Amino acid sequence: MASGPIASVVIPTYNRAELVLRAVASVQRQSLGDWELLLVDDASTDDTKARIEELGDPRIQYVRRDINGGVAAAQNTGLDRAAGRFVLFLHSDDELMPEFLRRLTEVLDNAPPAIGGIEAGLEVVESESTARRRPYLEGADDRALLAFQSGVHISTLLLRRELAADVRFDESLRTVEDRDFCIRLLRRTTLVFEVDPLVRIHRSATGLSALGRAPAYEYLLDKYHDDIVATPAIHASWWFGIARAYARVGELGRARASMQRAVRVNPSRVRRWPLFAASYLGDRAFSGALCAYRVTARITRRRGS
């Protein structure tokens, strides 16, 4: 019986026929050639299938889902079909540097079984700037992720396939599924890190929408309830994040109620008191207070950088 490839790359996509080709090409350019790519089409209505088939690469499997289930469901679909020793979930708007698979699989091949994965550094490309960053999860644990003290980006992680299959993605989530996955991942295993930027992350208007993020945060607050409420500052920060997420999509009534809960849970965060007061004065006053808060926060970050 033939053995499987060293690495499986899962790319979920939905109506991104042109954009996803950049991610696919970055896999084809890998210096390690022993890989398979599972392109999971989450019920697209464009010509994704035709464009992938035109590539004529036998290492690429086009997998179509008949019903759109979101990124988590698409990633699980690819994971269920993966045959590699290691697996990577690459977002359709990201790219791998040519040495990603070779360097990271070598580390995991020589690591003890207790090491479940490796995370690489990244290059973040925005409209007017490019920045290099160390691995997001370096020095983090599940508590840091629950407190939003650490970033998460699934495209930077190469994992042992059996471990990823045990953790899986929560298909109830249509956003922030990567943070939820990594919380549970860090409770199961230890990671190692490669600080060189071997993944290029693109942040632009083509990125996934923040719509639905507030209900997702509420879902996770319930899912990790006991861990979150054990620390009032963290509990309040969740309600504050929920408030801001509702405000971004114009749900000001829910945003105001969430802001009130944030301050009641942890009244010691005095910077939020003006928002708390404004939440009782109607949508216009509350919206203006949020804008002022965002401006002040940006200025504070710039002075601290």
pLDDT in tens, 178-198: 999 999 999 999 999 999 999
Our separate counts of H helices and E strands in the chain read 13, 9
Tallying the residues shown for the chain, one arrives at: 305
Whether residue 51 is predicted with pLDDT greater than 70 in this model: the reply is yes
Which residues have a Cβ under 8 Å from the Cβ of 15 and sit 6 or more positions away? Answer: 44, 45, 46, 48
User: What pLDDT, on a 0 to 100 scale, did the predictor assign at position 203?
Assistant: 85
Instruction: Quote the pLDDT of residue 302.
Output: 57
The enclosing H or E element of 80 equals helix 71-81
* Residue 207 banded pLDDT, cuts 50, 70, 90: very low
Fold of the CATH domain 7-202: Spore Coat Polysaccharide Biosynthesis Protein SpsA; Chain A (3.90.550)
pLDDT by residue (tens digit) across 12-47? Answer: 999 999 999 999 999 999 999 999 999 999 999 999
At 300, the pLDDT band (50, 70, 90 cuts) reads low
Q: Which two tokens stand for residue 86?
A: 């290691």
Instruction: Give residue 182's pLDDT.
Output: 98
Q: What percentage of the chain has pLDDT greater than the value 90?
A: 82
Is residue 152 packed enough to be buried (19+ CB in 10 Å), middle (13-18) or exposed (0-12)? buried
148-162, 234-248, 287-301: which has the minimum mean pLDDT?
287-301
SS (H, E, C) 270-295: HHHHHHHHHCCCCHHHHHHHHHHHHH
Domain ranges, ordered by start, for the chain: 7-202, 213-304
Q: Is-contact 119 135, C-beta < 8 A?
A: yes
**pLDDT reported for residue 206:** 43
Angle at 143 between CA 150 and CA 175, to 5 degrees: 60
Contact of 96 with 199, CB cutoff 8 Å: yes
CB 128 within 8 A of CB 237: no
pLDDT digits (tens, 9 = 90+) for 283-299: 889 889 888 887 876 66
Residue 205 has pLDDT above 90, yes or no: no
Q: Count other Cβ atoms within 10 Å, centred on residue 69.
A: 19
Give the model's confidence band at 208: pLDDT under 50 very low, under 70 low, under 90 confident, else very high: very low
Q: For position 270, what pLDDT does the model report?
A: 87
